[in-house]
Amino acid sequence: MNTSLPTPSEPHALDLSIGGMTCASCVGRVERALRKVPGVQDATVNLATESARVQFAAPEGGDAAMDALLRRAVRNAGYEPLTPAASAAREQDESPWAGFTPVAIGLLLSAPLVLPMVGDLFGVHWMLPAWLQFVLATPVQFVLGARFYKAGWHAARALSGNMDLLVAIGTSAGWGLSVWLWLTAHPGHTPHLYFEASAVVVTLVLLGKWLEARAKRQTTAAIRALHGLRPDVAHLLGKGGEVDVPIAEVMVGDRLVVRPGERIPVDGELREGQTQVDESMLTGEPLPVAKEPGGLLTGGSINGEGRIVLEVHAVGAETVLSRIIRLVEDAQAAKAPIQRLVDQVSSVFVPVVLVIALLTLLGWLWAGVGAETALIRAVAVLVIACPCALGLATPAAIMAGTGVAAKHGILIKDAQALELAHKVDTVAFDKTGTLTVGQPRLAVLVVAPGLDEAAVLRDAASLQSGSEHPLARAVVQAARDRALEVPAPDGVRAVPGRGSDGEVQGRSYLLGSLRWMEELGVALGPLAGRARALQDEGATVSALVRRVAQGLELQALMAFGDEPKPGAREALALLRARGIRTVMISGDNRGAALAMAQRLGLDAQDVRAEVLPGDKAAQVVALQQGEAGQSRTVAMVGDGVNDAPALAAADVGMAMGNGTDVAMHAAGITLMRGEPRLVAAALDISHRTVAKIRQNLFWAFAYNVAGIPLAALGYLNPVVAGAAMALSSVSVMTNALLLKRWRM
């Protein structure tokens, strides 16, 4: 539990960690319980992070009293309020196989019970003795399945139903009938028992719960990756020199030292030194940003050059990185539309089945058929209503769909994204690294009149040959593309935040930004207009000047730009052909964004330029709200940390596999090859998978709707009911496996 300190202008807030939630109905039940607490204004439960955020008015006993009341409400609702220590211990358990032991035990115990069914297909009788079936099935039913009884009991107390209650009732009916038939059988006669049905259903549902828990742990990986951007220790500059202190002890106004290659610990203002800062982890843009005294520094970015001193402006929750983390946490609310529908239907289905079974028992007793016959027919109703197919309908299709998608480079980690992607009518793309290559290239070289272009490029490449700056690499690569021989430079000196100074074969050059040239008083002359035009187009412009007797003489202008990814234009055209709107969101100036949009075939009204990192999520929300009150289903495609809040806020988040881990963890879908064309493929497999889910749910309910009346009227004995139940599961699995035939 974390407590955020409120201000007088806003309500108090508490964050609670909650254990034991399994589905969307659990979320609703916890929210209702929390909102009933006196003083609570709002409560939002996040299934992905298994936490709740509660806003409340100032209580008489302080926050501690409200904390106790909220925890008591959670416990009374049937769930476990976790302490900070317990919550931290759970987060440290990141093994992908955590919690698989019960599933493995269930598989081992259920396998001998299933083998006789396989033998019957070949006319071989492998039926185990009744006592051995009992020994194998009972631990599965009551030890491994205890969680279903507990969750089902709490659901029943709340006068609601869920899948846990259905599993508990259905499997208990199969187990209880088997025990009854075994104990009442004539000596020497072995009746047909249903231990295998109860054991297999419990095991399969446990497997589904384990897969769901793995997915939940993956959703929180984005938060952990963002926290990893902050260093644990800062170099505090005091009267006695540098002292290493924990980041939690840093206060506003402190002065911190950041060495080359280190991450900037908190937000602040540069006071001493000059440097190039790699902000790509926060902005998504690949070009380092020059920083001079007075410039703002963002925590989580990397200091590229030289020792600098910054003055702290924001710490803790007020930093840009912390706000991004909060945006991801807020946006990652669990939504499961189809599963929510199943839970809603189950809440009605369960009492209906119980009433029908009771009426069946009483009706046949009144008809005078005897207690045993009446009980068998009532149990047949419960067996045919066992939620095996209903429980498999959604996960079977999802597993098949995600499996075939993975083979084609589409990694679907969030079932919710798969369920929602078929509704997408708007796709928003980040520009740099998503629609573009993300590597600057020398796009335009304009030499001064009378100079040889190849010679100028050769000397510029020589001057930049020893630098790791992205723009320097672009110059060297351009020379290589022209097969120019690049001589070794002499006395090259890096000028932080400005450029390079050195000699090439006895000629002295300077290469750097136009701002540096302005400081040096370099006249651009006839190329001034060209420089402004290139900047208006969004290019990054540098100048090469030579030292001569008269001073500094302009040699060339170099404009750097990014290139669209191969197939990006075709991918956007394919989406538009399917009736899907495509939008580009970029932090670049509008000129650069519009220029790239033209190359990609996008209209100007579908371009969102000059968007700050923290505002991308707001742009997604605006697209979701639509125009004229028409809401839209939006997919966001990105690759950088700055895209993480937008990926989480979107109905469907898609991360490029060539991007950052944070973006991929925040997104429900990862495009492993980083190809924009995979976006359309992901939407298509989603559409087909959801179609299979709906078909499976229809057939699962069809078996129940058709079978329950027949069982109640006595036309189905438990053996036939069990076979019908098994057939329903087979049909659901077979229909789901048809997804393996999907091709891009």
Token pair listed for 549: 């007797």
> In angstroms, rounded to a whole number, what is the distance separating the alpha carbons of residues 416 and 129?
44
Torsion region of 574: left, alpha or beta (phi above 0 gives left; psi -120 to 50 gives alpha): alpha
- Regarding beta strands 410-412 and 669-671, do their DSSP bridges make them parallel or antiparallel, or are they unpaired? antiparallel
Distance (Å) of CA 637 to CA 413, 436, 597, 644, 682:
15, 12, 16, 10, 12
Is there a contact between 578 and 601 (Cβ–Cβ < 8 Å)? no
- 603 catalytic, yes or no? no
- The 3-state DSSP class for residue 392 equals helix
Nearest to 571 by CA among 675, 467, 473: 675
CA torsion, points 50, 52, 53, 57, in degrees to nearest 10?
A: -160
> In angstroms, rounded to a whole number, what is the distance separating the alpha carbons of residues 268 and 278?
15
Token pair listed for 613: 């990192």
E strand or H helix that includes residue 154: helix 146-157
> In angstroms, rounded to a whole number, what is the distance separating the alpha carbons of residues 405 and 412?
7
Is there a contact between 412 and 401 (Cβ–Cβ < 8 Å)? yes
Distance (Å) of CA 99 to CA 207, 388, 739:
10, 22, 29
Cα 635–chain centre separation? 12
Token pair listed for 733: 């699995």
Torsion region of 287: left, alpha or beta (phi above 0 gives left; psi -120 to 50 gives alpha): beta
Enumerate residues 6+ apart whose C-beta is below 8 A from 720: 380
> In angstroms, rounded to a whole number, what is the distance separating the alpha carbons of residues 305 and 312?
20
Listing DSSP states for 5-68 in one string gives PPPTTS-EEEEEEEE---SHHHHHHHHHHHHTSTTEEEEEEETTTTEEEEEEPPPTTHHHHHHH
Angle of helix 195-219 relative to helix 388-407, nearest 10 degrees, comes to 50
Angle at 149 between CA 178 and CA 416, to 5 degrees: 115
Question: Of 254, 414, 430, 588, which is the active-site residue?
Answer: 430
Nearest to 704 by CA among 720, 730, 724, 718: 724
Enumerate residues 6+ apart whose C-beta is below 8 A from 627: none
Nearest to 555 by CA among 461, 441, 443, 440: 461
Distance (Å) of CA 43 to CA 4, 16, 40, 288, 492:
15, 10, 7, 42, 61
Give me the sheet containing 233-238, strands edge to edge: 241-246, 233-238, 255-258, 308-314, 267-272, 296-297
Catalytic residues: 430
